[in-house]
A and B are shown apart, each in its own frame.
Chain A
Amino acid sequence: MSVARTDESLVVAGKWASWRHTLSPTGNLGDAIFRLLMLLVALFVVALVIAMVFALSTDSMLAIRRFGFRFLTSTNWNPIKGEFGALPFIYGTVMSSLIALVISVPLSLGIAVFLVEQAPPFIARPIGFLVELLAAIPSVVYGLWGIFVLAPFLRVYVEPVLARLFGWTPLFTGPITGIGLFTGGIILAIMVTPIISAVVRDVLAAVPSTQREAALALGATKWETIRVVLVNGAPGIAGAVILGLGRALGETMAVTMLIGNRPEVSLSLFAPSYTIASAIANEFTEATGDLYLSALVELGLILFLVTFIVNGFARFLVWNVTRRTGGVGRAA
């Protein structure tokens, strides 16, 4: 018995010593205070995420209890009757993001390959900076430009052509208004292109130049060499695309101003749609009644969880590549 107690107190003492060592390896009191303070600040970030999950879950409990899993599968969003189903928003969010990726992924790959592999530095630097500036323009400004320039342009010049060429598919049918899923997807494509291309640039730059030299030495053409580089950075490129997806899923203002804001599931890309983020932006301050507000918070919770997982996965992929090749990656 007494032996066990000594063991226990030894363990406690050992733990205390290791804690003291972690807090202040030098035994200096100022160090202990400083390190503890910084540790608390860092833990604040962790606590923030936990608090977000907690607050969003508590405030959406009413809707979760009332609708359960049906919330995700019902297409009926009727605040007046107190019926809330999120499927139209989920559909609109996923579809607009997919349109954005279909357009921006090839574009971003082209930009990254041009800037890293082909352009001389005196062109790559300023042009790369200009592409990055696209990411600095606020979402609401894209929305404003979209309403007055992009939407009329697409309505007059692009959508009629698409309807004529692909009108036999269900994707390009219905009235042409310039406001809808298609326009929302295009503005998203413009907004995520600088993000995807910046990460792909980092990934390509992290591919060791020995890979390029080896390919060239084996007699590969320039294009074949670039293919080797792309294959080498493939997981990182996948990460970049998923990172862009995460951004597109949560983008709010520009999409809200262009997508039409109608909670309906329609196969046609010309039809107005609605995303999770724009539903929150539009209806949050107008929500009357606890259930309505609770349903909107649940939308926020869904968006939070989805973007958290998507981003986490993307970071994981990008880290792995940049760490493995020891390029831009930092000691993680």
Chain B
Amino acid sequence: MMTTLTALCTFAAVGILLLILAYISWRGVGSLSFRFLIDSPRPVGEGGGIGNAILGSLVLLALASALGLPIGIGVGVYLSEIGSGRLAAGVRFITDTLTGIPSIVTGVFVYAIVVLPMKHFSALSGGIALALVMIPIVARTTEEMLNLVPHSLREGALALGAPQWRVTLGVVLPAAASGIATGAMLAIARVSGETAPLLFTAFGSRFFSYYLDQPIASLTVLIYNYAISPYDEWHAQAWAATLVLVTLILGINIVVRILTRRRF
């Protein structure tokens, strides 16, 4: 009896997931074509595509990774290898709590410190906003991966006379590299679905652009704008863009899962 009930809960959740994925595939496949993937948006009735949004998302993700990954990994190294006592506990607590800060608030913050001084929306501010979302996630997965490295490895290297920085950079980090890489992939997957922090930082654009000081398009903002538009054609394009985005995100998640299955 109880097992039936709990199993029902579980399969309700899984059912909703499959329902959503099936619906996205069904609606998205119709408008999907090679032209759609490389074209830029056009006025209603003339087709057009999401090429500029895909490029924009890639630029934003590259920026976010370049800024967020080193800092996030650095914090993880500090928490696992260096920090101890109250200070480390405080940093860990703040990092954890930062994970739960709504990304829209991050957007407002970046608007205040980057967009206002620059006086216009820019790809740079969007990248910074995504990086801020990324840092606490990367920090915590890095710490967990470093904690999995056996102590004997560190002791062995130290006993050979290596200073701590060489032990960390030359022995511990390489040993945890694949774990840190998968953590980074998951963080990238997570921020590639972020919309709220981009609304008033990267803002969006209807043209191809890779200039960091100009507004830039992104898949998520495009989906949002098309979804709330009154045009059926744009709704169809929103579904196709969603199919692309969700395939990318779930693809990363599934690949990471397969790669890490042996370890956990």
Contact = CB atoms under 8 A, between A and B. Distances in A.
Contacts of B165: 28, 30-31, 33-35
A253 to B, nearest CB: 5
B98 interface: yes
Given A31-B163, A59-B112, A311 B223 contact: no
A41 interface: yes
Contacts of B2: 222-223, 226
Given A45-B139, A56-B108, A149 B23 contact: yes
A58 B9 CA distance: 46
Interface stretch (A7-15, A206-214, A243-251): A243-251
Interface in B214-238: 220, 223-224, 227-228, 235, 238
Given A41-B71, A52-B109, A131 B200 contact: no
Interface residues of A, number: 90
Contact of B227 (A42, A257, A332): A257
B166 to A, nearest CB: 7
Contacts of A35: 82, 164-165
Contact of A141 (B97, B101, B104, B242): B242
Interface in B191-224: 192-196, 199-200, 203, 220, 223-224
Contacts of A222: 2
B17 interface: yes
A301 B163 CA distance: 45
A148 B230 CA distance: 12
A228 B83 CA distance: 37
B60 to A, nearest CB: 14
A67 interface: no
Contacts of B24: 141, 145
Interface residues of B, number: 88
Interface in B101-115: 101-105, 107-109, 111-113
A58 B200 CA distance: 19
Contact of A138 (B7, B90, B99, B195): B195
Given A137-B249, A312-B93, A55 B164 contact: no
Instruction: Decide if the interface of chain B is mainly helix, strand, loop or mixed.
Output: helix
B155 interface: no
Contacts of A138: 192-195, 220, 245-246, 249
Contact of A45 (B6, B27, B75, B249): B75
Contacts of B14: 127, 130-131
A42 B163 contact: no
Contact of A284 (B13, B108, B163, B166): B108
Interface stretch (A78-86, A111-119, A154-162, A262-270): A111-119
B104 A250 contact: yes
A133 B17 contact: yes
A144 B108 contact: no
Nearest to A226: B2
Given A30-B166, A113-B6, A307-B101, A137 B246 contact: yes
Main secondary structure of the interface of A (DSSP, over half): helix
Interface in A75-100: none
Interface string A191-223: 001100100000000000000000000000011
Nearest to B243: A141
Nearest to A128: B10
B105 A55 contact: no
B6 to A, nearest CB: 4
A144 B242 contact: yes
A273 interface: no
Contacts of B9: 106-111, 114
A254 to B, nearest CB: 10
B253 A303 contact: no
B71 A44 contact: yes
Contact of A303 (B78, B105, B111, B112): B105
B82 A140 contact: no
A129 interface: yes
A37 B92 CA distance: 17
Interface of A: 25-26, 28, 30-31, 33-35, 37-39, 41-46, 48-49, 51-52, 55-56, 58-59, 106-111, 113-115, 118-119, 127, 129-131, 133-134, 136-145, 147-149, 190, 193-194, 197, 222-223, 226, 243, 246-247, 249-253, 257, 277, 280-281, 284-285, 296-297, 300, 303-304, 307-308, 310-312, 314-315, 330, 332
5 contacts: A107-B12, A130-B17, A281-B196, A296-B108, A312-B97
| 7 smallest beta-carbon distances between A and B, as pairs | A250-B102, A138-B193, A110-B9, A34-B165, A311-B100, A41-B74, A114-B6
Interface of B: 2-3, 5-10, 12-14, 16-17, 20, 23-24, 27, 71, 74-75, 77-79, 81-83, 88-105, 107-109, 111-113, 132, 135-136, 139, 143-144, 147, 163-166, 168-169, 189-190, 192-196, 199-200, 203, 220, 223-224, 227-228, 235, 238-239, 242, 245-246, 249-250, 253, 257
Given A42-B79, A42-B88, A303-B105, 19 more contacts: A30-B165, A42-B83, A44-B71, A59-B112, A127-B10, A139-B195, A141-B24, A141-B242, A143-B227, A144-B239, A197-B13, A222-B2, A250-B101, A250-B102, A253-B220, A257-B227, A281-B199, A284-B108, A303-B104
